[in-house]
Amino acid sequence: MAEFLIIGGGIGGLAAALALQRIGRQVAVFERSPVFGEVGAGLTVGPNMLHGLAWLGLAEPMARHMMIPEHGGVMDIATGELLVSNRRGPVPAQRYGQPYAQVHRADLQRVLLDAVRRNDSSALHAGHALTGLSEASGSVTAHFANGRAVQGGFLIGADGSRSVVRDVLFPGHPPVFTGYVAWRGLVPMARLGHVRFFPDSAILIGPGRSLARYRVRQGELLNYAAFAESSEWAEEGWSIRSGLADLLDRYAGCAPVVREIIEQTPADQCFKWGLFDRDPLPAWTAGRATLLGDAAHPMLPFLGQGAAMAVEDAVVLARAVAAVGDPLAAFQRYEMLRRERTAFVTQASRAAVREFHSPDTRGYDPGRHRDAESLGIFAFNPATAPIHVA
């Protein structure tokens, strides 16, 4: 019987597993998909997240996969005009002790998987879709669609914004469509060799739509995420193949570089999904189970902090377990330590898209710009943040 059952084998679940292994606890990770693997494309990795990954022992492998942009910026999606410029390169590392970078999600997933597997090759269990939980004195049992029932001491729900664990523990809080549809794509830079990208990491904004783009895989691929307002979302799933014609139609009238990026996207590398949100819960912990990452605090992607908050959660949770000893008391402390920060980032992410999609694009200036750095989010270090309560 593993001490900690972790439901969800994405970035948050694997980070939690590795964090608990680091303090000498036994874990078992259960992923609903038939194999462990991260869908998706690029991911922003800020200094706060990198501090957490370094505490997990992943500084060296992460350095091999990260792209560190020299400049960041905000641009007018209609004209391509640069509205706000941010110096990146060595500056964030000098300010915060870690750089600002981008990485392919699959590369980060692989780094986490390899580390968990090295610690315990029997810890990972794919093809386990959770259907329910039950508690007895001193244990919790996870019930799966494949017929297995697995007993453990404690359980962590890290199964994303549509968390089954959350729905079992706290029913009656369904996700709500936000009015935004997202697309993601990966374009080989060889197809865009004639295009000059400055700044090398940027978000292009305008009324009702935006597009973020940056390079991953040692500069071989351009990752983009496009967001457009929509009155409804009827399709099931959060990652559905999309034809380029629909996306080009949505982004008609944009700067030529935007259309060039979309047109050069390989047909099998464009996906779409509806963005759904949930209001914060009054509590994350019930009995011997707690929530982590998007299962606890679903986060819109407009500040690029969803994965970072999950990694921060994992590190703080493990440090609380190490400091307190009793996991039940540690769950309560972890929740208390994380609630205010994650609520702030959740609300700031909601506010960011309203600014990005404002009708007054020309009026967007450095004084109005709010990002994870200007909001102070980068300055947090989950490896050194106080764990003890006065």
pLDDT one-digit tens code per residue, 341-371: 999 999 999 999 988 998 888 777 667 778 8
List, by residue number, the catalytic residues: 214
DSSP secondary structure, 99-165, as one string: --EEEEHHHHHHHHHHHHHHH-TTSEE-S--EEEEEEETTEEEEEETTS-EEEEEEEEE---TT-HH
DSSP secondary structure, 305-364, as one string: -HHHHHHHHHHHHHHHHHHHS-HHHHHHHHHHHHHHHHHHHHHHHHHHHHHHT-S-GGG-
Q: Is the pTM of this model over 0.85?
A: yes
Measured distance between the N- and C-terminal CA atoms of the chain, rounded to whole angstroms = 35
Q: Looking at residue 201, what is its pLDDT? A: 96
Q: Which CATH architecture has domain 2-175+278-379?
A: 3-Layer(bba) Sandwich (3.50)
Parallel/antiparallel/unpaired status of strands 27-30 and 124-125? parallel
Residues of the chain with pLDDT under 50: none
Q: Which two tokens stand for residue 11?
A: 């970035």
Query: Which single residue is written with the structure tokens 């205010």?
Result: 340
pLDDT one-digit tens code per residue, 70-79: 999 999 999 9
Parallel/antiparallel/unpaired status of strands 149-157 and 289-291? parallel
Q: Looking at residue 292, what is its pLDDT? A: 98
| HSE-up (13 A, CA, CB side) for residue 153 | 11
Report the C-alpha gap between 17 and 4 in whole angstroms: 8
Residue 185 φ then ψ, to 5° = -150, 155
Amino acid code (one letter) for 249 = D
Q: Are 27 and 20 in contact (CB under 8 A)?
A: yes
Q: Which two tokens stand for residue 280?
A: 């914060």
Q: Are 305 and 377 in contact (CB under 8 A)?
A: yes
* Beta bridge partner(s), residue 215: 222
Domains of the chain: which residue ranges?
2-175+278-379
Q: Are 132 and 168 in contact (CB under 8 A)?
A: yes
Distances (CA, A) of 339 to 32, 296, 344, 346: 27, 9, 9, 10
Report the C-alpha gap between 133 and 5 in whole angstroms: 11
Report the C-alpha gap between 194 and 24 in whole angstroms: 52
CB atoms within 10 A of CB 239: 12
Instruction: Single out the residue of 7, 46, 2 nearest to residue 295, CA to CA.
Output: 7
